[in-house]
Structure 1
Amino acid sequence: MNIVELVNNKSLKAMEKRIQIIEILLEDNLSLQELITICDSLKDKQIAIILEAIEEITNKKMKQLDPAYIDFVEKYILSDNNSCKREASRIVGNLAEQYPNKLDSVIQCLIKNTTDDSTVVRWGSAYALSRIIVLTEYANTDLYDQISDICEKEQNNGVKNQYVKALKKAVKIRK
């Protein structure tokens, strides 16, 4: 079964679909360009399942993904779908340490989502930004001050704690 058939299969639950998509992506039989083409033909809810699979691969470090995956997920950070926004942000957070030189344009998308009405979207952005700010390349930049300001304004403790922990780590790098 291919990815399009999987995401359209109504007899499978989302978790089952995600597991099978992970297997397909780990097999290396699908190029990133093919994946992009597939996603261009799908609805946001279906894309979110694919992004969840990619997030799990990056989170558990099941496979070294190409840095072009950051470019691929960037457009989903500003999607209309909150699940796409959240998962794309988490993927960036998981890949940040491996590809610090690929983050400049995606950082602006993440910052934009820090004011989103949805807590899960703000949390996803906090997750990614918190992993970026502790990188040597970013700890001593204006991004530190931006994240400090965002942290002060954030009302949700779960989101705020992401920033607080990262800012404490970044302070040590800044010295």
Structure 2
Amino acid sequence: MTIEQVFKDKTIKAKAKVALIGEWILNNELPLEELLTFAEKQKPVDKASCIEAVEYATKKTPAIADDNLFAYVTKALKEDEPRIKWESAKVIGNVAVLFPTQLNKAIQNLLSNAESTGTVVRWATAYALAEILKLKTDNNKMLLPKIEALCEKEEDNGVKKKYLDALKKVKK
């Protein structure tokens, strides 16, 4: 079965598609590069599912990420589709530890999503920013006050908790 066939098969539910493709990535049956090339040509809902499959895989095995994937999800944070933004943010949160010197653009793009009207976008952004903050890189000089300000303004408890947990770990 190919990626195209998975997306065309209406008998496979969305979450099952994501898990199937994620497992293909983990088992080296589908190169990340091939999935990202496919995703680029898809409508937003399917592109988001491709990124969600990457999120599924990087949650289990962050080390599968390479520079190209990191650049791809960093750029995808600027897309209009909220689900693409939040899935990309979750991938960045999963793999930031592998790219400690390449976080500047990701941080910029995440900060621009941090005040999104969508709660899920803000939650995923908070997750990624919190993971970056916990790395204690030089970025923290700029990032710490911004996260404190975001935390102060945030009204959703789930989003706020992501920031507070990271702040506690960093200030120890």
Kindly indicate whether the alpha-carbon contact (under 8 Å) linking 1:7 and 1:49 is maintained by their aligned counterparts in 2: no
TM-score relative to the length of structure 2: 0.92
**For residue 92 of structure 2, what is the aligned residue in structure 1?**
92
Residue pairs, 1:138-153, within 5 angstroms: 138=138, 140-153=140-153
**For residue 121 of structure 1, what is the aligned residue in structure 2?**
121
Kindly indicate whether the alpha-carbon contact (under 8 Å) linking 1:32 and 1:69 is maintained by their aligned counterparts in 2: yes
CA RMSD across the alignment: 1.7
More displaced stretch, 42-51 vs 54-63: 54-63
Task: Note the residue ranges of structure 1 that are not aligned, 5 or more in a row.
Answer: none
Residue pairs, 1:67-78, within 5 angstroms: 67-78=67-78
**For residue 156 of structure 2, what is the aligned residue in structure 1?**
156
In structure 2, C-alpha distance between the alignment counterparts of 1:138 and 1:95, rounded to whole Å: 18
1:148 Cα shift?
0.7
Kindly indicate whether the alpha-carbon contact (under 8 Å) linking 1:90 and 1:125 is maintained by their aligned counterparts in 2: yes
| Alignment deviations for residues 90-143 of structure 1 (CA, whole Å, 9 cap, x no partner) | 000010112211211011110001110000000010000000011121464111
**Structure 1 ranges of 4+ moved more than 4 A:** none
Supply the AA of the counterpart residue of 1:78.
K
Please state whether the residue corresponding to 1:18 is helix, strand or coil.
helix
Please state whether the residue corresponding to 1:28 is helix, strand or coil.
coil
Question: Identity of counterpart residues, as a percentage?
Answer: 37
Equivalences, count: 172
Please state whether the residue corresponding to 1:94 is helix, strand or coil.
helix
Supply the AA of the counterpart residue of 1:155.
E
In structure 1, C-alpha distance between the alignment counterparts of 2:160 and 2:138, rounded to whole Å: 19
Kindly indicate whether the alpha-carbon contact (under 8 Å) linking 2:36 and 2:50 is maintained by their aligned counterparts in 1: no
**For residue 61 of structure 2, what is the aligned residue in structure 1?**
61
1:33 Cα shift?
3.5
CA distance 1:98–1:41, change in 2 (3 Å):
same
In structure 1, C-alpha distance between the alignment counterparts of 2:62 and 2:90, rounded to whole Å: 15
More displaced stretch, 99-108 vs 4-13: 4-13
